[in-house]
């Protein structure tokens, strides 16, 4: 909560201002309560969160029709959406993923094969960034920011493969 001065009058802004020093703590405190309600009051167990993304598991046979989107979802997902509707948390249909292959933080997670990989469009972006600094058509006087961007993209792509990260740490140190 903060006070905002508009035309000489002060108004109380009850919104969580992201970027403020307490915004993360406030959001996590609130959302922890939402997940507690889901688990302990509504019986929706095993729902986990990564910032504002939720994920869980469900038996393939346990489906529930979710009226606002007019289709079936895994039961836990439908119940969580109903809770969000009840307490006024906005959501969109396009972000409601389910199945055996999910995109989590830009990586494809295949639950059946127990494999994490980069989608082809993400691989193409990495190749494009690398080509800017390492390709045959690249001049030797590339911009430092191009190298930093390429290193950042590679570093992100290795977030699910931490054992490969030592190879990029020397580049990161050299850019400091």
- Percent of the chain predicted with pLDDT > 90: 39
The answer to whether the beta carbons of residues 148 and 141 sit under 8 Å apart is no
The answer to whether the beta carbons of residues 93 and 69 sit under 8 Å apart is yes
104 beta partners = 107
Residue 10 pLDDT > 80, yes or no? yes
The answer to whether the beta carbons of residues 155 and 165 sit under 8 Å apart is yes
The secondary structure of residue 172, as a DSSP letter, is H
Question: What pLDDT is stored for residue 93 in this prediction?
Answer: 95
Distance CA 171, CA 146 (A): 13
Average pLDDT, integer, range 12-38: 83
Question: What pLDDT is stored for residue 149 in this prediction?
Answer: 84
For residue 30 the two structure tokens come to 């609130």
Distance CA 162, CA 43 (A): 35
Average pLDDT, integer, range 134-163: 77
pTM confidence score: 0.68
Least confident of 30-34, 40-44, 150-154: 150-154
Per-residue buried b or exposed e for 79-110, using 16+ beta carbons within 10 Å of the residue's own CB? bbbbbeeeeeeeeeeeebeeeeeeeeeebebe
Residue entry with tokens 């508009």: 6
Residue 1 pLDDT > 70, yes or no? no
- Percent of the chain predicted with pLDDT > 70: 92
Residue 156 pLDDT > 90, yes or no? no
Distance CA 152, CA 45 (A): 36
Distance CA 22, CA 11 (A): 20
Question: What pLDDT is stored for residue 74 in this prediction?
Answer: 97
């Amino acid at each position: 909560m903060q006070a905002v001065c508009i035309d000489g009058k002060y108004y109380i802004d009850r919104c969580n201002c992201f970027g403020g020093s307490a915004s993360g703590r406030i959001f996590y405190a609130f959302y922890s309560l939402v997940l507690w309600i889901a688990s302990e009051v509504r019986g929706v167990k095993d729902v986990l969160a990564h910032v504002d993304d939720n994920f869980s598991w469900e038996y393939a046979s346990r489906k529930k029709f979710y009226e606002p989107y007019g289709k079936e979802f895994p039961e836990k997902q439908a119940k969580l959406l109903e809770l969000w509707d009840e307490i006024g948390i906005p959501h969109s249909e396009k972000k409601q993923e389910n199945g055996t292959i999910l995109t989590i933080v830009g990586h494809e997670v295949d639950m059946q094969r127990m494999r994490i990989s980069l989608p082809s469009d993400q691989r193409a972006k990495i190749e494009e960034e690398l080509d800017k600094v390492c390709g045959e058509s690249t001049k030797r006087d590339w911009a430092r920011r191009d190298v930093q961007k390429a290193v950042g993209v590679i570093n992100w792509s290795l977030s699910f493969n931490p054992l490969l990260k030592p190879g990029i740490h020397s580049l990161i140190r050299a850019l400091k």
